Structure 1
Amino acid sequence: MSTTATGRRALFACLVLVTALGALDQTIVATALPAIVTELGAPSRVSWVVTAYALALTAAMPAAGALGDRFGHRRVLALSIGVFVISSGACGLAGNVEFLAAARLAQGLGGAGLLVLPQAVVAGAVPARERTAFLGPLGAVYAVATVAGPLLGGWLTDLASWRWIFWLNLPLGAAAAALVLVAVPAGRRPDAPARFDTTGAVLLAAAASGLVLVTTAVAETGWHAATVTAAAGTAVVAAAALAWERRAADPVLPVTLARDRTVLLCCLLALAGGIGLFGVLAYVPTWVQEVYRTSATTGGLLLLPVTAGIVAGVNASGFAVRRWGAWRPFPVAGCALSGGAAAALASIGEAPLPVVAALLALLGLGTGLFMQIVVVVAQDAGGARRAGAVTAGLAFVREAGVTVGAAVLGALVARAAGGSYAPVFATAAMCFAAGFAYALALPDRRLESE
């Protein structure tokens, strides 16, 4: 289904706001944690506030996409915003860490829909060839919001109270819900199967929850009998989930689509790019502070070149694909550029900060060239009926990769001689090298404009 130019502008404004809300809440709480501990106490349990959101977000992504395909993307997106707003209000009223963590868990369930469904909505309203230009700015919004989250969280905490981090979502969420009802096309209600894949949703949620909890525990306490046992249990549950989804009549996560070479390679590219980019982003501020002996503010500001590169990359590749239809050169060039930048960061030592900033910008630019294209290509290969599930699957794979990658990179830093961060950049370079191979294997075909 297509929309008019005016309708697309309204749709774009709506999805920008929704995407920003979902992306901000992944990082906005980090800088407020000291203030939360001061007011609510329980420093040993404050990590629950962050872990609960990440756990719910990752676990709910497959279900959010599948529910959108079954009941309509507009309806499920509006419901997701409602859950997100109500739980945000509850977060702001929290009187102890336990209540705040529970409210954050509910907020993450709504946040999953905010991050997955906008891209699925675009798949139903915009032809594939034009979709890259439409999704490019949304990818830029996600990148900017992710980096701006800690800065905004710290500013609100210093200016007023950490509670305003959550209360700010109430008016913004209300505006987003109104825009969804006005601007998002209702579309034809999909032909719903007889039963929703509840078993698959539960198994996938359990596997995702185990993944988040195990990686968090390993990062805090290392490997020991309890974490090894938990990791083994998570692997068993994940295997059971995949086995179930392969034979389910209408699976939450259509793993059989991985038989399609294009969908599989796009998932692998999303995984490689997620680990490579977000693994570097997680450690750049600390690396700059420790190696260059700068302030925390300067360390945070070094994320801005990465963000600027991503913004330039997603928009340049999106508009180029809309004009010419050819998309395959961008993943190939993007992985080569990001991989080269990461390799240079691993080997330069204490280069001047302007050189570091330039290399980080190139890393962001390379990733931006393909991060949204792989979504459109996978949606096109998976078909309109599965747009939500395919989009959710890509997001799920990327988030799982980021979670595991952060834990692995943290372990590498801890074991490196002299606290060197070179292993972080070297690992990112290897991820992009793998992505380069996946990109070369992608079929060379054009996206259609109808």
Structure 2
Amino acid sequence: MGAATPPHTPHPAIPGSPVPLAPPRTRRRALFGCLVLVTALGALDQTIVATALPAIVAELGAPSRVSWVVTAYALALTAAMPAAGALGDRFGHRRVLALSVAVFVAASAACGFAGDVGFLAAARLAQGLGGAGLLVLPQAVVAGAVPARERAAFLGPLGAVYAIATVAGPLLGGWLTDVTSWRWVFWLNLPLGAAAAVLVRTAVPTGRGHAGRTRFDTLGAVLLATVATGLVLVTTAAAETGWNAATTTGAALTAVAGAVALGWERRAANPVLPVALLRDRTVRLCCLLALAGGIGLFGVLAYVPTWVQELYRTSATTSGLLLLPVTAGIVAGVNASGFAVRRWGVWRPFPVAGCALSGGAAAALAWTGAAPLPVVAALLALLDLGTGLFMQIVVVVAQDAGGPRVVGAVTAGLAFVRETGVTVGAAVLGALVARAAGGSYAPVFTTTAACFATGLLCALGLPRRLLESKS
């Protein structure tokens, strides 16, 4: 074990600024409440519509197209993430966050008034554009207001809110549909969004941005959005119809678009996604860890309820309740690691231990077969505890390595990579389930374990350094 190196300075190729001063306690509480609400809004709408789909079909018809109500939001969310972060860096995070809230609320109102599935899907697309800012910019706002060493503890609860909202979304959506109407799944965002808009104006620090004289990288944003669109469309089609000539061709075209986008972003004067920062080993390894977390955690969780229902012959409610220990594991992991980093400044052990724990739990799920449900619940909780230990840490470390001028772009890049992992992981694991004999889910957990083993190698390659303490 080597000695810890001094605190990391911003990336040498990018001009930095002094470590941010922590805002007063009352201001910080208001900021925290604002960002919790904003994050919950963006995360809820990823899953809240799922249980309302039957009611939407019953009223609007078009069952063959109703899946676009879900897909449109995911597509726009993923596609707009890089642009949201870069626009925040350029024009100020508070200004772009306020615009994102406004777009999200207006699109939510339009969703509630939809008279057909086509209009609803289009409104969901607009809602996803706003949702990208809601999920990316809170972490960038924290980077500008809180020193790196304390940032992990501040971001930990936001990660927990994201996890809880994602799991609670279907339950809340089903309840609203049963007691009122599916339209209130969207109209609920109006009062919450109005409160968020007020808090953004009053609690989020004003930032001037770094617009300079260079133009915004519009072509880069379009190319990255094209790649994200291709990923969502190809993986959705592959999950529904399997791999055939059409899906294979789509995957090849998406790969070409990805290569073109990366080539352009390397040459752009002010790139939306600063891929040049990947030359920094810390940023590169944090991106790989975000990808591993996306594939390994959220990819496998998409199939846990179905697996439990098929293997244990349980009800949908019971299988859904099994996600509660999953949520508890994430909440415990992100908060424990965040508070530990704030106290000691040492962060590297958490990605190492987290990947080892998650990989071991996934391997145990693959080997145990039909273990008792309490054992399954415990292993799932350990899998998520491990991922929670490094889920937010890698964001803070990458922000610190990149420097303050591109903190939004770095944050958005990590979110983009994670969402790509979620999308691709769900499709790949779904294909494994479809091809396995007797619907066995062992390949899903084996692949997940291998993914976290790769993440462990990346974590071991991270440098030993401390995060900045407050000045």
TM-score range, shorter chain: over 0.9
Is residue 303 of structure 2 the alignment partner of residue 283 of structure 1?
yes
What residue is the counterpart of 1:115 in the other structure? Answer: 135
1:374 and 1:176 map into 2 onto residues whose CA distance is 27
Q: Name the amino acid aligned to 1:377.
A: V
2:333 and 2:68 map into 1 onto residues whose CA distance is 35
Equivalent pair of 2:164/2:327 in contact (CA under 8 Å): yes
Displacement, 1:277?
A: 0.5
What residue is the counterpart of 1:195 in the other structure? Answer: 215
Is residue 242 of structure 2 the alignment partner of residue 231 of structure 1?
no
Is residue 156 of structure 2 the alignment partner of residue 133 of structure 1?
no
Given the superposition, is the C-alpha separation of residues 66 and 193 from structure 1 closer, same or farther in structure 2, using an over 3 Å criterion?
farther
Equivalent pair of 1:279/1:424 in contact (CA under 8 Å): no
Is residue 203 of structure 2 the alignment partner of residue 183 of structure 1?
yes
1:383-433 Cα distance to aligned partner (Å, 9 max, x none): 001100000000000101110110000000001111011111111111111
Equivalent pair of 1:69/1:389 in contact (CA under 8 Å): yes
What residue is the counterpart of 1:378 in the other structure? Answer: 398
Is residue 344 of structure 2 the alignment partner of residue 324 of structure 1?
yes
Is residue 261 of structure 2 the alignment partner of residue 241 of structure 1?
yes
> 1:27-426 counterparts in 2 under 5 A?
27-426=47-446
Equivalent pair of 2:214/2:269 in contact (CA under 8 Å): no
Q: Name the amino acid aligned to 2:436.
A: A
Equivalent pair of 1:196/1:250 in contact (CA under 8 Å): yes
Equivalent pair of 1:85/1:170 in contact (CA under 8 Å): yes
Is residue 30 of structure 2 the alignment partner of residue 19 of structure 1?
no
1:170 and 1:262 map into 2 onto residues whose CA distance is 40
Q: What TM-score, normalized to structure 2?
A: 0.95
Unaligned regions of 5+ residues in structure 2, if any?
Answer: 1-19
Equivalent pair of 1:71/1:192 in contact (CA under 8 Å): no
Equivalent pair of 1:332/1:436 in contact (CA under 8 Å): yes
Q: What TM-score, normalized to structure 1?
A: 0.99
SS at match of 1:66: helix
Displacement, 1:191?
A: 4.1
Equivalent pair of 1:132/1:373 in contact (CA under 8 Å): yes
1:186 and 1:233 map into 2 onto residues whose CA distance is 41
2:333 and 2:359 map into 1 onto residues whose CA distance is 15
Displacement, 1:225?
A: 2.0
Displacement, 1:347?
A: 0.9
Q: Name the amino acid aligned to 2:71.
A: T
Displacement, 1:192?
A: 2.8
Deviates more, 1:354-363 or 1:76-85: 354-363
SS at match of 2:269: coil
Unaligned regions of 5+ residues in structure 1, if any?
Answer: none
Aligned residues: 450
1:174 and 1:193 map into 2 onto residues whose CA distance is 34
What residue is the counterpart of 2:26 in the other structure? Answer: 6
Q: Name the amino acid aligned to 2:82.
A: P
Equivalent pair of 2:332/2:388 in contact (CA under 8 Å): yes
What residue is the counterpart of 1:443 in the other structure? Answer: 463
